[in-house]
Amino acid sequence: MATLDLSNKRILVTGGAGFLGRQVVEQLRLAGADLEKITIPRSRDHDLRSLEACQRAVEHQDVVIHLAAHVGGIGLNLVKPAELFYDNLMMGAQLIHAAYQAGVQKFTCVGTICAYPKFTPVPFQEDDLWNGYPEETNAPYGVAKKALLVQLQSYRQQYGFNGIYLLPVNLYGPEDNFDPKSSHVIPALIRKVHEAQIRGDKHLPVWGDGSPTREFLYSTDAALGIVMGTQDYDGTEPVNLGTGYEISIKELVELICELMGYEGEIVWETDKPNGQPRRCLDTERACREFGFTAKVDFKQGLKNTIEWYRQHAE
């Protein structure tokens, strides 16, 4: 299979101005894409929940990388499940349909690890994706994104449309979303520790009991995997993007406190939800199909993220 030459391709990157999107655009540039030919639709100009907006966005494009999502941590999932389901389903389904109609050559859809069943054997293998219902707080978002995999597979079967589906694990890195109302666990913890230090708090309250495990992928690694998949993968099956390194929330909190020099006591709020019990990916397929393995060491990635946040905390 020939590597897709990006040098002369017109590429649409939805969500391209976001945390992951900026890294994807940079990896596209490093892979030879012409920045002049990369289009980033902004939500104020293109509401991708509308089919007409999707049709305008994909016009004359050769490649579409769909990163745009309405997404957040457990807090947002609990208060806005309907919005998360509707927005993500509508954006994805209509963009895929419009891209097919417009004759787009390649469609890369970035799904979510929340699509996996609540109790999936660890490490998660792509073939287990349909063996149960997602963890309840994630389900509206996870099911909406998982429906796009079915759409891509059926459009390939009926129309020969070349769409691929990638499943990155939880991302982190500089420029992440640190808003306490919608942030994921690493930026939320970094901000929480930073503010506790400023106030001189002796106690650090953290949701749950610390027992769940998670895996985290540095944003530049995720972007590299997405671009490598876009260039070199044309399969129907979903592909995990991760590191295969599993860490408990308890160890994570202790590590962040250590790297940030916080000396206070961690208080576990066991009346708050834990989320999915374990999360760690089998990353063999990405390595086998398009040669992707993550490069950034977790501790180093955390240091980079903490340093960036401290410089931009204001």
Residues contributing to the annotated binding site for NADP(+): 15-21, 145, 168-171, 184
b/e sequence 138-171, b meaning 16+ C-beta within 10 Å: bbbbbbbbbbbbebbbebbeeeebbbbbbbbbbb
Distance (Å, rounded) from C-alpha 146 to C-alpha 69? 13
DSSP 8-state class, residue 133? P
Extended beta strands in 40-152, E state:
63-66, 106-110
- Residues at the annotated binding site for substrate? 192, 207, 214
Spatial distance between the Cα atoms of 154 and 160, rounded to a whole number of angstroms: 9
Q: Which of 86, 100, 116, 141 is catalytic?
A: 141
Binding positions are 15-21, 145, 168-171, 184, 192, 207, 214
CA distance 94 to 99: 8
Do the Cβ atoms of 6 and 31 come closer than 8 Å? yes
- Residue 22 gets which letter from DSSP? H
Note if 141 is an active site residue.
yes
Cβ distance 39 to 60 under 8 Å? no
Distance separating alpha carbons of residues 59 and 51, to the nearest angstrom: 12
Amino acid in the structure at residue 120? T
Phi then psi for residue 91, to 5 deg, are: -55, -50
- CA distance to 50, 175, 290, per residue, from 198 (Å): 44, 21, 45
Q: Which residues are catalytic?
A: 141
